[in-house]
Amino acid sequence: MQSHDELLKSCGEVFVNLNAAQLYEHAVYLEEGVISEHGALIVDTGALTGRSAQDKFLVEEPDSKDHVWWGKVNKPFSPEKFNALKARVFAYLQNRNVYIQDCFAGADEQYRLPVRIITEYGWHSLFARNMFIDATPEELENFAPGFTVVSVPDFKADPAIDGTRSGTFIVLDFSQRLVLVGGTEYAGEIKKSIFTVMNYLLPLRNVFPMHCSANTGSNGDVALFFGLSGTGKTTLSADPERQLIGDDEHGWSDDGVFNFEGGCYAKVVDLSAESEPIIFEMTQTFGTILENVGFNPDTRSVDLADRSLTENTRASYPRENMDNIVPSNAGGHPKNVFFLTADAFGVMPPIAKLTPEQAMYHFLSGYTAKVAGTEAGVKEPQATFSTCYGAAFMVHQPAVYANLLKEKVNTHGAHVWLVNTGWSGGEYGVGKRMKIEYTRALLRAALTGALNNVEFELEPFFNLLIPKSCEGVPSEILNPRNTWTDKDAYDAKAKHLADLFANNFQEFASTVDDSVTNSMKAS
């Protein structure tokens, strides 16, 4: 393990493991943020309000390079360039004050990773404190970081000198166990860089790292929720009737599921107390960071509907501020696994039961859709495929993660479901978004086993088994074709999406059995 203590020797004052109140004081004094009327810290991340996926690189070094899925996701960076960039970042921090949080990623002590987060901003240190797992005073006495993240938002790289794509960079070196993040104030890069690290380390130990949320019922039944941003992963796992394990990143070992994190990082645009009471309460709580959320500068009242800075407004808060959490931050083996998609074409069913082969197919596909207006140039729904529901963070070949899913699901007998939280009755602009109360009713029926006792029918375009009835849900919406006035238009749109799936899956066909590739074709 490398502690990179040489950096700390040349810095100015080093603030180590400050608590939330202390970091609030620093952030406000340094004008990094302001305090809302309810006690949350409001910050503005500047020009970048989301991840910079094109600016992320992995150092191509001997020990890891043969394991890496090189390509558009994992772009190589030379060791020489990394060391030169590291020297420039360390020189930049000379005589500057920095903040340190020593903490852990991974609630299971067998697999947890000690991480040291060194930040230029005080509020980034609070973010790290919220999102990672606290070390006890005894653990801090001899803390030895297994990985270090150095975040320097005000340092801009020079592509001509540093070999980066732009002034922004996120570069991971597994040999030095070091991540350099610069040129971006978006705090999500800090946590996602460590998620990337866990996605590399854990499969080497036969542990399945997952971009999913997790909760558990009163009888200990664990459920997983996979999904890309905007599909409901955080919202649906924050269920008042169930206890939360975590909202974003987990591992599945031979002993069960464990959270990587000590906090939650929820999208909050248009959030309401009625539809999402638990998360809404967190936006009103001391210790929460609100990123790019609109507010009245005079009253400090927050407007969660304000999207003037970004659609990607966020709240970061520690699990300990929530009432309905699993204290151990872990659970047993999942009984149900849900793949969430926000289908803006309006042709996917509200829920479908997947065969093991279909589970692998949809996991490798990782489908959701962008809607018009969310990004420049998006005029109509666009399919998005992110393998393993998190391609940006997968280091190994996708088949490595898919085979871990298959092994875990088959060994422990989990039921796998595909859930559409997107549109019904037509595509975006014509149909309407699925009511959250219907989605919650469908999930409840799956979780209690009620859906196992109803009649199913086979949907022809995606070869999916869909229930004909479910308590609390109008039966006519369960088959999406029934919700369209123009049936021919539905058929054309469904065929279009099915073709997009097939074209996307060609990349993975050679890595799986034919039964997986053919699982979406009607028999």
Residues with catalytic roles: 51, 192, 211, 229, 233-234, 248, 314
Distance between CA atoms of residues 336 and 331, nearest Å: 13
Phi-psi region of 87 (alpha: psi -120 to 50; beta: other; left: phi over 0): alpha
Q: Residue 204 and residue 202: Cα distance in Å, rounded?
A: 5
The answer to whether the CB of 437 falls within 8 A of the CB of 248 is: no
Whole-number Å distance between alpha carbons of 193 and 188: 8
CA separation for the pair 299, 316 (Å, rounded)? 22
448 and 217 Cβ atoms separated by less than 8 Å: no
Whether 234 and 249 have beta carbons less than 8 Å apart is answered as: no
341, 363 contact by CB (below 8 A): no
Question: From CA 440, how far away is CA 225, in angstroms rounded?
Answer: 13
Measured CA to CA, the distance from residue 137 to residue 175 in angstroms comes to 29
- Secondary-structure percent of the chain, ordered helix, strand, coil, rounded to 5: 35, 25, 40
**Residue recorded with tokens 């599945």:** 252
Ramachandran region of residue 456, left (φ > 0), alpha (ψ -120 to 50) or beta? beta
Helices 398-412/356-365 angle, 10° precision = 150
Residue linked to tokens 């039961």: 353
* Dihedral (CA of 239, 21, 290, 341) sign: negative
* The pair of three-digit structure tokens given for residue 223, joined into one six-digit string: 């459920």
Place of tokens 């659970």: 331
Helices (H) and strands (E) in the chain, counts: 14, 31
Q: What tokens were used for 244?
A: 């939360």
Contact 130, 318 (CB under 8 A): yes
Distance CA 250, CA 313 (A): 23
Please tell me the distance from the alpha carbon of residue 335 to that of residue 440, in angstroms, as a whole number: 17
Tokens read off for 101? 């949080």
